[in-house]
């Protein structure tokens, strides 16, 4: 077998097609579109409130703080009138009239109106000044309440909008992760042969998590920032179009910087996704092979390789930071330059009277607000590029079609099902994992119901590969695997896999209790059934010794128990399945003689009245088989019973002699 170490997902991707990625992501967003639309509606309200705040400030300044400022409008170029320098008051108010009399040298009275120069207000006592401007003070109070109300509503709408997007974002990630997990589960064994565990873990965890901010903030906040930019531009043009156009002069520079940033950021984020996957893969391999690493004292070499990989990830991260360190301060600098331009140009217009002070203050606030969404858009684009780099990798897996082909049936026909396995037949089967390196070559044989067939041969002869074709983990390169006279690929896999049990050379146990590992497909088995299965599989003695018995929790892979005990549990799991066909793959290779006898006894009970295919490393395991197939270099070279093959004195005879000599040497 020659695995593909090219790491197909990690190859350099070409030009990005974000529109296609967004279209595909929308399939996951669609179930929550009402929440998204509601969020966008709230964003519109929030944007309106944000735009109102500076304008309320303008009203407070022009109407109450500095009343009498020019009101000619944004397009006025006339000189200010003389009244613009005076505060006017109504002398029909007895309190005001009294103050005017007290400072009669500062006031000019015309009818029921008195006026005083703003420069002379400094000579009026604070108490009297407050009485003169009580209407302005009341007006400021009203404006302050309105301002506070706008802020409170802004907070409330932001809170609701954030909660909606967080809930919908997490649900979208949940659906995306489940779709990815389900798709990976349905991929063929060849896919897992080529892809390390660490990379797949990265796709399901890190890459999906990278989509979090895309779903929770980017989608709705981009609308907010765009609406805010458009609203600010309209308000600024309404206040003073010349000043607004002067402020917009920096936009071409911002656009050019953004385009350059986006191109560089995508490539960097792609590289980061690759490096994180490689780090996870290396770490997963280190944990899985820690015994070998420590035994051969490879800690230092493994550390150096990991350090190099981690350093490459660090360098990629530094390139990302370098891009951000240039782009973000550049946006800040352009914002400061624009603000300075507004202060200078707008200040001149205030001095000439063509712009009110309140309008200038509001204009400065809008300019600062104008660059805030631009910075936000830059940050969101940064998040977007990261998310799109992850989305590319996720969809590369979701687009992978390396699955077992569906049953090849005429239109309208459903896959075949079966009630009982009567016969399995191989007709000139050839198989290869990669390229032209055939592992099996023109293999033909037949297994009838109730028959026990053994498969023996040297290491690498193709025994395990042959076993893997029967549950259809792989399809043959050529030839046919037949089940009850029909091609195996025409059956629904679940119909024949539920009638098979596989006892592997190195059984895999899941994290959880022994009970969960044995009775995975059983719904609350009875105590009697549990006892029968444990007795038949020879599991009862060692399980009874455990503190919690069947409810003992196993670590990953069952590392807390011996290999022989793991094998016995896998046999018990096969018993619980009540299969018609038993597939044994070197079931006694890694155990001592005493445990081998226990396993052999359990296997004999399991094979009673069942069809069995036994791959054996120790020939004693298949001595009593109805038929033995001898495989060498992918071909069946001999077939017969143990006695028949010994009498032929061929390849099997030599294997028997070799194994007999080894066993005698061990006994000595």
Cα separation, 460 vs 631, in Å, equals 10
Cα separation, 293 vs 480, in Å, equals 43
Q: What is the pLDDT of residue 160?
A: 92
Q: What is the pLDDT of residue 454?
A: 92
16-20, 312-316, 452-456, 576-580: segment of lowest average pLDDT: 16-20
Q: Of the ranges 35-39, 341-345, 615-619, which is most confident? A: 35-39
70-79, 129-138, 244-253: segment of lowest average pLDDT: 70-79
Radius of gyration of the chain (CA): 40
Cα separation, 322 vs 221, in Å, equals 25
Over residues 270-292, the mean pLDDT reads: 79
Q: What is the pLDDT of residue 631?
A: 93
pLDDT tens profile 384-412:
777 887 888 888 888 888 777 666 665 65
Question: Are the C-beta atoms of residues 268 and 388 closer than 8 Å to each other?
Answer: no
CATH of domain 19-63+137-398: 1.20.1560.10
Cα separation, 345 vs 294, in Å, equals 73
Cα separation, 351 vs 356, in Å, equals 9
- φ, ψ for residue 513 (rounded to 5)? -80, 160
Q: Strand 635-640 vs strand 627-632: parallel, antiparallel, or unpaired?
A: antiparallel
User: Distance of alpha carbon 401 from its chain centroid, rounded?
Assistant: 20
The residue written with tokens 């509601």 in the block is 38
The residue written with tokens 């005076």 in the block is 86
Residue 505 burial (10 A CB sphere; 0-12, 13-18, 19+): middle
Q: How far is CA 345 from CA 54, 342, 348, 352, 499, in A?
A: 19, 5, 5, 11, 85
Q: What is the pLDDT of residue 591?
A: 61
pLDDT tens profile 134-190:
877 888 889 899 999 999 999 999 899 888 888 888 898 889 999 988 888 888 887
Question: Are the C-beta atoms of residues 441 and 634 closer than 8 Å to each other?
Answer: yes
- Please provide the distance, in angstroms rounded to a whole number, between the alpha carbons at the two ends of the chain: 38
Tokens (6 digits) for 288: 């899985």
Q: What is the pLDDT of residue 613?
A: 92
Over residues 105-132, the mean pLDDT reads: 82
Q: What is the pLDDT of residue 409?
A: 60
Q: Of the ranges 58-67, 129-138, 476-485, which is most confident? A: 476-485
Question: Are the C-beta atoms of residues 584 and 613 closer than 8 Å to each other?
Answer: yes
Find, among 370, 162, 95, 381, the residue nearest to 250 by Cα.
370
What is residue 447's three-state secondary structure? strand
Q: What is the pLDDT of residue 157?
A: 92
Question: Are the C-beta atoms of residues 356 and 67 closer than 8 Å to each other?
Answer: no
Cα separation, 321 vs 537, in Å, equals 60
Q: What is the pLDDT of residue 148?
A: 94
pLDDT tens profile 186-243:
888 878 877 877 778 888 888 888 787 778 777 767 777 788 888 888 888 887 788 8
> 204 Cβ partners below 8 Å, 6+ apart?
177, 180, 181, 184
CA-CA-CA-CA dihedral for 521, 523, 525, 530, to nearest 10: 20
Q: What is the pLDDT of residue 419?
A: 79
Question: Are the C-beta atoms of residues 257 and 327 closer than 8 Å to each other?
Answer: yes
Q: Of the ranges 130-144, 241-255, 371-385, 517-531, which is most confident? A: 130-144
pLDDT tens profile 598-643:
888 888 888 888 899 998 877 877 888 899 999 999 999 999 999 9
For residue 75, is pLDDT > 50? no
The packing angle between helices 527-536 and 593-607, to 10°, is 120
Question: Are the C-beta atoms of residues 629 and 455 closer than 8 Å to each other?
Answer: yes
Query: 491: which DSSP letter?
Result: B
For residue 23, is pLDDT > 90? no
Q: What is the pLDDT of residue 348?
A: 81
Q: How far is CA 124 from CA 68, 73, 94, 127, 508, in A?
A: 18, 31, 17, 8, 92
User: Distance of alpha carbon 566 from its chain centroid, rounded?
Assistant: 34
**Where do the structural domains in the chain lie, given as residue ranges?**
19-63+137-398
Counting every residue written for the chain, the total comes to 668
Cα separation, 560 vs 639, in Å, equals 41
> 630 Cβ partners below 8 Å, 6+ apart?
456, 457, 636, 637, 638, 639, 645, 650, 651, 652, 655
Cα separation, 379 vs 361, in Å, equals 27
Tokens (6 digits) for 541: 């003695």
Residue 124 burial (10 A CB sphere; 0-12, 13-18, 19+): buried
Residue 48 burial (10 A CB sphere; 0-12, 13-18, 19+): middle
Q: What is the pLDDT of residue 414?
A: 67
Question: Are the C-beta atoms of residues 439 and 613 closer than 8 Å to each other?
Answer: no
Tokens (6 digits) for 53: 């705040």
Residue 300 burial (10 A CB sphere; 0-12, 13-18, 19+): exposed
For residue 81, is pLDDT > 50? no
Over residues 286-298, the mean pLDDT reads: 76
Q: Of the ranges 19-33, 69-83, 257-271, 550-564, which is most confident? A: 19-33
Average pLDDT, the chain: 80
Question: Are the C-beta atoms of residues 505 and 586 closer than 8 Å to each other?
Answer: yes
Angle at 49 between CA 44 and CA 55, to 5 degrees: 130
For residue 347, is pLDDT > 70? yes
């Amino acid at each position: 077998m020659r695995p593909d170490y090219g790491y197909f997902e990690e190859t350099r991707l070409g030009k990005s097609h974000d529109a296609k990625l967004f279209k595909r992501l929308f399939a996951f967003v669609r179930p929550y579109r009402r929440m998204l639309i509601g969020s966008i509606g709230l964003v519109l309200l929030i944007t309106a409130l944000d735009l109102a705040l500076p304008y309320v400030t303008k009203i407070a300044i022009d109407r109450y703080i500095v009343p009498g400022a020019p009101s000619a409008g944004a397009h006025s170029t006339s000189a200010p009138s003389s009244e613009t320098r005076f505060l006017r008051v109504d002398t029909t108010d007895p309190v005001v009239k009294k103050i005017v009399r007290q400072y009669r040298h500062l006031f000019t009275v015309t009818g029921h109106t008195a006026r005083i120069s703003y420069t002379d207000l400094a000579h009026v006592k604070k108490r009297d000044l407050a009485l003169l401007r009580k209407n302005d003070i009341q007006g400021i109070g009203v404006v302050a309440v309105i301002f506070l109300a706008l802020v409170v509503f802004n907070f409330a709408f932001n809170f609701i909008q954030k909660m909606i997007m967080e809930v919908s974002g997490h649900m979208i990630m949940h659906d995306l992760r489940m779709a990815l997990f389900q798709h990976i589960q349905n991929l063929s064994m060849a896919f897992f042969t080529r892809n390390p565990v660490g990379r797949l873990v990265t796709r399901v965890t890190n890459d999906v998590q990278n989509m979090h901010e895309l779903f929770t903030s980017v989608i709705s906040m981009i609308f907010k920032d765009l609406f805010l930019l458009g609203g600010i531009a309209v308000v600024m043009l309404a206040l003073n179009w010349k000043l607004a156009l002067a402020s917009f002069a920096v936009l071409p520079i911002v656009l050019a910087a953004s385009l350059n940033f986006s191109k560089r950021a995508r490539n960097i984020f792609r590289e980061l996704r690759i490096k994180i996957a490689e780090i996870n893969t290396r770490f997963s391999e280190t944990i899985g092979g820690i015994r070998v690493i420590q035994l051969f004292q490879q800690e230092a070499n493994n550390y150096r390789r990991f350090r190099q990989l981690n350093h490459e990830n660090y360098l990629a991260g530094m390139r990302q930071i370098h891009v951000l360190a240039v782009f973000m301060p550049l946006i800040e600098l352009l914002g400061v330059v624009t603000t300075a331009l507004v202060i200078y140009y707008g200040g001149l217009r205030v001095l000439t009277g063509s712009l009110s002070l309140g309008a200038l203050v509001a204009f400065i606030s809008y300019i600062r607000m104008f660059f805030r969404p631009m910075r936000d858009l830059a940050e969101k684009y940064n998040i977007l590029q990261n998310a799109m780099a992850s989305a590319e990798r996720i969809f590369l897996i979701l687009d992978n079609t390396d699955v077992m082909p569906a049953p090849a049936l005429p239109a309208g026909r459903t896959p075949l099902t079966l009630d009982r396995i009567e016969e399995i037949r191989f007709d000139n089967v050839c198989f290869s994992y990669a390229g032209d390196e055939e592992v099996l070559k023109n293999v033909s044989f037949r297994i009838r119901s109730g028959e026990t067939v053994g498969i023996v041969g040297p290491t690498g002869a193709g025994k395990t590969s042959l076993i893997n074709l029967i549950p259809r983990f792989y399809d043959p390169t050529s030839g046919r695997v037949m089940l009850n006279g029909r091609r195996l690929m025409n059956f629904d896999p679940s119909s024949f896999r539920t009638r098979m049990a596989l006892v592997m050379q190195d059984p895999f146990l899941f994290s959880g209790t022994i009970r969960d590992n044995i009775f995975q497909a059983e719904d609350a088995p009875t105590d009697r059934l549990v006892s029968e299965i444990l007795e038949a599989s020879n599991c009862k003695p060692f399980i009874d010794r455990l503190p919690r018995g069947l409810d003992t929790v196993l670590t990953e892979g069952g590392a807390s128990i011996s290999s022989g005990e793991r094998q016995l549990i896998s046999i018990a799991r096969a018993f619980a399945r009540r299969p018609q066909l038993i597939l044994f793959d070197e079931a006694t290779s890694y155990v001592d003689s005493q445990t081998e006898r226990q396993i052999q006894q359990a296997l004999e009970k399991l094979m009673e009245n069942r069809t069995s295919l036994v791959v054996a490393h120790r020939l004693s395991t298949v001595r009593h088989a109805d038929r033995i197939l001898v495989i060498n270099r992918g071909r069946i070279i001999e077939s017969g019973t143990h006695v028949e093959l010994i009498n032929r004195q061929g390849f099997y005879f030599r294997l028997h002699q070799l194994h007999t000599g080894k066993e005698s040497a061990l006994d000595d």
